[in-house]
Structure 1
Amino acid sequence: MSNNLGMDGRKAPRSRVRMDSKVRHLQQEADGRVINISRTGLALELASKLHAAAGSSVVIQNDDIGLLEGVVRWNYGGRLGIMFKPNSNSIAKVAAYFRNFHQEVRPVLSR
């Protein structure tokens, strides 16, 4: 599908996951769950409010991946879209996660 709005599109395919995580922005911290991940970013479903606008720097803490730095791309309906900061540390951690831990999550119920 072409992008007629002039917005940046997703650059990497995403995979569904369910990973409990914490996200920090300035002095705020919120629990959440990573619901999908790609090599360039992730979507996080929040359990509580986090006031982070697009462009805000955040840190995601996860048992499987560790600490990842990112930038909020969107914040809508209790979910955050986060793009990883393009440094070698983040790239190595995400690559190791996909190589060693990743398992695609499928929906339990079918229609």
Structure 2
Amino acid sequence: MIRNLKITARKADRRSCRVFGKIRYLNNQVDARILDISATGAALEVKAPLYAASGSKVRIEAENLGLLEGVIRWTHNGRVGIQFDVNSNARALIASYFRFFHREVPRVR
């Protein structure tokens, strides 16, 4: 049996991490933990329901990352996949995180 879910996989390498922050959608703000991150996006675990659909614009605020904007690509069982807006500021923030703050951690399943 072949399943074709039409999911576009992230092209950049993912790195597991445990960065705590907040995700903001419109006037709602939810505590979140970034589970893995790449130059183009991140997977987050949210502490409370985030009532936003795929394609919704969100902001991620984390102490080690700063403020990143992106779009929700998927949601599943309390987890959210975010694709970052492609701009030089986002690339600089991610590069800075990997250079100064990132520590490899075991992947959470």
Scaled by the length of structure 2, what TM-score is found? 0.90
What does 1:1-111 align with in structure 2 at a 5 Å threshold? 5-106=5-106
CA separation of 1:61 and 1:96: change in aligned 2, threshold 3 A: same
Which amino acid letter does the alignment assign opposite residue 78 of structure 1?
G
- Using the TM superposition, give the Cα deviation of residue 63 of structure 1 relative to its aligned residue in structure 2, in angstroms: 0.3
Gaps of 5+ in 1: none
Gaps of 5+ in 2: none
Aligned residues: 105
- Identity percentage of aligned residues: 49
- Using the TM superposition, give the Cα deviation of residue 106 of structure 1 relative to its aligned residue in structure 2, in angstroms: 2.2
Distance in 2, Cα, partners of 1:7 & 1:46: 21
Which amino acid letter does the alignment assign opposite residue 18 of structure 1?
R
CA RMSD of aligned residues (A): 1.5
CA separation of 1:80 and 1:5: change in aligned 2, threshold 3 A: closer
Scaled by the length of structure 1, what TM-score is found? 0.88
Which amino acid letter does the alignment assign opposite residue 65 of structure 1?
L
- Using the TM superposition, give the Cα deviation of residue 8 of structure 1 relative to its aligned residue in structure 2, in angstroms: 2.0
Distance in 1, Cα, partners of 2:77 & 2:106: 23
- Using the TM superposition, give the Cα deviation of residue 9 of structure 1 relative to its aligned residue in structure 2, in angstroms: 1.8
